[in-house]
């Protein structure tokens, strides 16, 4: 097999090949392309002269009929090994497919089991925070607000898991209606004011149009934008700026989100848009998350007739600020397709 591969390389076709072995067969070696055959144990007195003969262009010859027989036998051995390897790979692939199916089922079941008790927890915590069940003192209010923040984060994670299981199973559904793209973006920005203040990050917003009418799933779009914005804020340095620009481009609306964070290695640009993949997936990573935000955002904009583009490093200018870290552009059609 080595000889056949060497002979298949045009740059090595004129290089003499001599088989030196104690177990090989002379006829087979010559049939597959060796120029000579030296049987072990080597005769030290004649070895140098034998090699010199082959280096000067000498060749041993095998009868054509015998060469054909040896080539057929060698081909059959190679085919048999290939068939065995294909069968082995097919079996391994079946195991991977089954494991992937089991993983998706597990995530779906766990997400639903977590979502069921989460609904009353969210409701009761809100009643307590809003003092619907009685007045609170300062310490109680502080503790409940911290609890509410944790509950909201947990609910967001569960919602994301439900989305990503729908994404992998191809069951993510869209409910289309008339909506305004700018209003959706502004609502998302307002929900991030607390996180922005907590991380000492500023938001720079740019939008030239007062109204941006569209037809599609506004809630899904808002969740997709929120996934990308959360990443941008999370990876921005303290005191930094995250830029958000919304504009009309042909028959699409483009939501551009840029930051001055560390960026994403070029080798990871495609990978990070796959579920459960992160640029830094180590247990000691600095930033939280499970690596599903960009996968969800990409599926959302695809369902709305658009696409998600990721660029890092970037050179984007939004609201007078230049960004060099990462830019994510989510484009959605003015009218989303009926079939998603």
pLDDT at 67 over 70: no
- CATH 3.90.1170.50 is right for the domain spanning 2-62: no
Looking at the predicted structure, is the pLDDT value of residue 224 above 90?
yes
Helix (H) or strand (E) segment spanning residue 245: strand 241-249
Q: What is the mean pLDDT of residues 88-93?
A: 86
Of residues 107 and 209, more confidence is placed in: 209
Asked whether residue 260 carries a pLDDT value surpassing 70, the answer given is yes
Are the C-beta atoms of residues 235 and 287 closer than 8 Å to each other?
yes
Q: What is the mean pLDDT of the chain?
A: 84
The two structure tokens encoding residue 104: 């998706």
Question: At the topology level of CATH, where does 177-333 sit?
Answer: Heat Shock Protein 90 (3.30.565)
Token digits of residue 130? 């809003």
Nearest to 201 by CA among 231, 237, 226: 237
Q: Is the pLDDT of residue 208 over 70?
A: yes
What is the longest distance spanned by two Cα atoms in the chain?
105
Helix (H) / strand (E) containing 321: strand 321-323
Identify the top-confidence range among 148-152, 164-168, 170-174, 329-333: 329-333
Which candidate, 143, 150, 176, places its Cα nearest to that of 340? 176
CA distance 178 to 217: 8
Dihedral angle, C-alpha 114, 117, 118, 122, nearest 10 °: -170
- What pLDDT digit, counting tens, does each position of 34-56 carry? 888 888 888 888 888 888 888 88
Please check whether residue 304 is in contact with residue 216, taking contact to mean a CB–CB distance below 8 angstroms: yes
**213 and 253 Cβ atoms separated by less than 8 Å:** no
| pLDDT of 171 strictly over 80 | no
Q: How many other CB atoms are found less than 10 A from the CB of residue 152?
A: 15
263-299 pLDDT tens trace: 888 888 888 877 666 655 444 445 555 568 888 899 8
Average pLDDT on 76-92 reads: 80
Residue 77 has pLDDT above 60, yes or no: yes
């Amino acid at each position: 097999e080595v000889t056949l591969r060497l002979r298949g390389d045009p740059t090595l076709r004129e290089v003499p090949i001599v088989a030196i072995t104690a177990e090989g067969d002379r006829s087979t070696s010559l049939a597959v392309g060796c120029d000579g055959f030296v049987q072990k144990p080597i005769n030290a007195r004649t070895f140098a002269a034998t090699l010199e003969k082959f280096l000067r262009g000498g060749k041993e010859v095998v009868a054509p009929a015998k060469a054909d027989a040896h080539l057929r036998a060698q081909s059959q051995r190679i085919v048999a090994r290939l068939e065995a390897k294909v069968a082995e790979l097919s079996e391994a692939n079946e195991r991977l497919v089954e494991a992937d199916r089991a993983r998706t089922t597990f995530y779906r079941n766990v997400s639903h089991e977590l979502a069921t008790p989460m609904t009353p927890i969210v409701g009761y915590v809100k009643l307590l925070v809003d003092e619907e069940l009685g007045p609170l003192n300062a310490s109680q209010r502080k503790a409940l607000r911290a609890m509410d923040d944790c509950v909201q984060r947990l609910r967001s994670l569960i919602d994301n898991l439900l989305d990503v299981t729908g994404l992998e199973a191809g069951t993510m559904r869209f409910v289309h209606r008339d909506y305004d793209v700018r209003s959706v973006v502004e609502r998302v920005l307002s929900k991030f004011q607390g996180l922005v203040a907590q991380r000492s990050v500023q938001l720079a917003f740019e939008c030239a149009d007062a109204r941006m009418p569209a037809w599609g799933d506004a809630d899904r779009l808002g969740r997709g934008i929120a996934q990308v914005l959360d990443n941008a804020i999370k990876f921005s340095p303290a005191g930094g700026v995250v830029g958000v620009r919304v504009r009309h481009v042909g028959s699409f609306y483009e939501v551009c989100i840029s930051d001055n964070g560390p960026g994403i290695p070029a080798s990871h640009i495609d990978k990070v848009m796959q579920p459960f993949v992160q640029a830094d997936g180590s247990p000691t990573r600095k930033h939280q998350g499970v690596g599903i935000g960009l996968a969800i955002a990409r599926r959302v904009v695809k369902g709305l007739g658009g696409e998600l583009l990721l660029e890092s490093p970037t050179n984007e200018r939004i609201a007078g600020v230049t960004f060099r870290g990462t830019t994510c552009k989510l484009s959605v059609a003015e009218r989303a397709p009926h079939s998603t």
